[in-house]
Amino acid sequence: MCEVLFVPVTRRPLWLTFFDSMVPAGFPSPAEDHRGEKLDLNRLLLPHPDSTYLVRVMGDSMTGGESGIRDGALLAVDCQLRALSGDVVIAVVEGQFTVKRLVKRAGEAWFLVPDNPSYPERAITEPDLFDVWGVVTHVVTEIRRGRLSAHVRVS
Partner 1 sequence: MFALVDCNNFYVSCEQAFQPQLEGRPVVVLSNNDGCLISRSAEAKALGLKMGEPYFKIKPLIQQHDVRVFSSNYALYGDMSARVLHYLSSVVPEVEMYSIDECFLDLHGMEAYQGDLSKLAQAWKQEIKRRTHIPVCIGIAPTKTLAKLANRLAKKTPSLEGLLYLNTEQCRQWALEQTPVEEVWGIGKQHTQKLWNQGIITAAQLAGQSEGWARKQLGGVVGARLVRELQGTPCQQLASSEDGGPSRKSIAYTRTFGQPLSDFHIVQAAVAHFASKAAEKLRRQGSAVNMLTVFISKSRYGTEPPPHTRSAVLTLPLATSDTTELLRHARVGLKRIWEPGGVYKKAGVLLDGLETAGQQQLLLFEPNEQAERRASLMAELDKVNQRFGKGAVRFAAAVPRERGPAPWAGQHQFQTSAYTTRWEDLLWIRA
Whether 104 is a known active-site residue: answer no
Whether 61 is a known active-site residue: answer yes
In whole angstroms, the minimum distance from the beta carbon of 78 to partner 1 comes to 9
DSSP-derived secondary structure for the chain: --EEEEE-------EEEEE-S---TTS---GGGGEEEEEEHHHHH-S-TTTEEEEEEESSTTTTSTT---TT-EEEEETTSPP-TT-EEEEEETTEEEEEEEEEETTTEEEEE-SSTTS--EE---GGGEEEEEEEEEEE--SS--HHHHTS---
Of the residues 31, 39, 79, 139, which one makes contact with partner 1 according to CB under 8 A: 79
Nearer to partner 1, 31 or 103 (CB): 103
Of the residues 99, 102, 113, 136, which one makes contact with partner 1 according to CB under 8 A: 99
Nearer to partner 1, 110 or 152 (CB): 152
Q: Which stretch binds partner 1 (CB under 8 A): 14-22, 37-45, 55-63, 103-111?
A: 55-63
> Which residues sit at the interface with partner 1, rule CB under 8 A?
1-9, 48-51, 53, 56, 58-59, 79-80, 92, 95-99, 131, 133, 151
